[in-house]
């Protein structure tokens, strides 16, 4: 794996520099050293309000992450590590709408906001929750307690049992990543009990279905035979 080289870019007059300017500077620096990650050093920021500075840095961070990213070390508590955890643990797969269909491209405006597409099975219809809202309502310690070794059983297809296996440092990093994403957004649709009307698109997750039982080939359809091993059932020839 290539090493990460820190490159510092100084903006002495930040009030005259746009986010696009900073991103362009970062990209040119990266082009000079393809291994490089980017560290932005801000100077002369007295004329900027905190909200403008924070907004600029947030937008810039998305630009930098989209262009290149140095892997964060396991055990390191950081936003960068939290992003990695959200991908490797499969959080983005369900909690970021459109993530899988985009083949893993993360849209910062949708990241971890949950999904309005339900998952339906014998338990009812459930929705991947807005994890930004979860992080917004909890302290870091509270987040670790709820989603750590004491993670409660949750509706399918959420693999809640995996949460208990995530190291505490990674959970803290995930929390910080969620907090870095900005406004939490709205709640996803509420859980729908079995038999109740579902008003959103949903994906059906049925239990495994057994092929029809048989006693001889005539019980089966064209091109099928009745297998002789128990339990006997119809299967395609060959």
C-alpha triplet 213, 216, 221: angle, nearest 5°:
70
| pLDDT (average), residues 34-60 | 43
Q: Is 170 within 8 Å of 140 (Cβ atoms)?
A: no
Nearest Cα neighbor of 237 from 229, 228, 222 is 222
Question: Is the pLDDT confidence value at 206 over 90?
Answer: no
In the chain, the N- to C-terminal Cα span, in Å, equals 47
What is the percent of the chain with per-residue pLDDT over 70, rounded to a whole number?
Answer: 68
- Pairing type for strands 224-226 and 234-236 reads antiparallel
Residues 6+ apart with CB under 8 A from 1: 71
For residue 155, give the 3-state DSSP assignment.
Answer: coil
What is the pLDDT, as a whole number, of residue 72?
64
User: For 126, what's the count of Cα atoms within 13 Å in the CB-facing half-sphere?
Assistant: 14
User: What's the pLDDT tens digit per position in 119-152?
Assistant: 999 999 999 999 999 999 999 999 999 999 888 8
* 119 sits in which H/E element: strand 118-121
What is the percent of the chain with per-residue pLDDT over 90, rounded to a whole number?
Answer: 55
User: What's the pLDDT tens digit per position in 62-93?
Assistant: 333 333 345 566 668 999 999 999 999 999 99
What is the pLDDT, as a whole number, of residue 64?
38
CA distance 135 to 176: 8
What is the pLDDT, as a whole number, of residue 126?
97
> Is the full-model pTM beyond 0.75?
no
User: What's the pLDDT tens digit per position in 25-34?
Assistant: 554 554 444 4
Q: Is 230 within 8 Å of 221 (Cβ atoms)?
A: no
CA distance 26 to 41: 11
């Amino acid at each position: 794996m290539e090493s990460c080289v820190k490159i510092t870019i100084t903006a002495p007059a930040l009030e005259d520099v746009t986010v696009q300017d900073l991103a362009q500077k970062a990209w040119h620096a990266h082009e000079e050293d393809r291994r490089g990650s980017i560290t932005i050093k801000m100077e002369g920021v007295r004329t900027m309000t905190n909200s403008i500075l924070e907004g600029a840095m947030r937008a810039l961070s998305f630009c930098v992450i989209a262009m290149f990213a140095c892997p964060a070390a396991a055990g390191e508590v950081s936003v960068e590590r939290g992003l990695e955890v959200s991908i490797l643990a499969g959080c983005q797969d369900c909690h970021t709408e459109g993530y899988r269909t985009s083949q893993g491209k993360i849209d910062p405006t949708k990241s971890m906001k949950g999904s309005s597409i339900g998952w339906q099975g014998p338990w009812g219809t459930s929705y991947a929750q807005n994890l930004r809202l979860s992080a917004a309502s909890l302290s870091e310690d509270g987040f670790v307690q709820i989603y750590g070794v004491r993670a409660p059983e949750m509706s399918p297809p959420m693999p809640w049992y995996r949460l208990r296996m995530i190291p505490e440092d990674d959970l803290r990093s995930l929390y910080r990543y969620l907090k870095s994403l900005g406004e939490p957004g709205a709640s996803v649709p509420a859980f729908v009990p079995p038999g109740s009307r579902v008003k959103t698109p949903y994906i059906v997750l049925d239990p495994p279905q057994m092929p029809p039982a048989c006693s001889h080939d005539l019980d089966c359809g064209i091109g099928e035979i009745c297998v002789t091993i128990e339990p006997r059932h119809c299967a395609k020839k060959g």
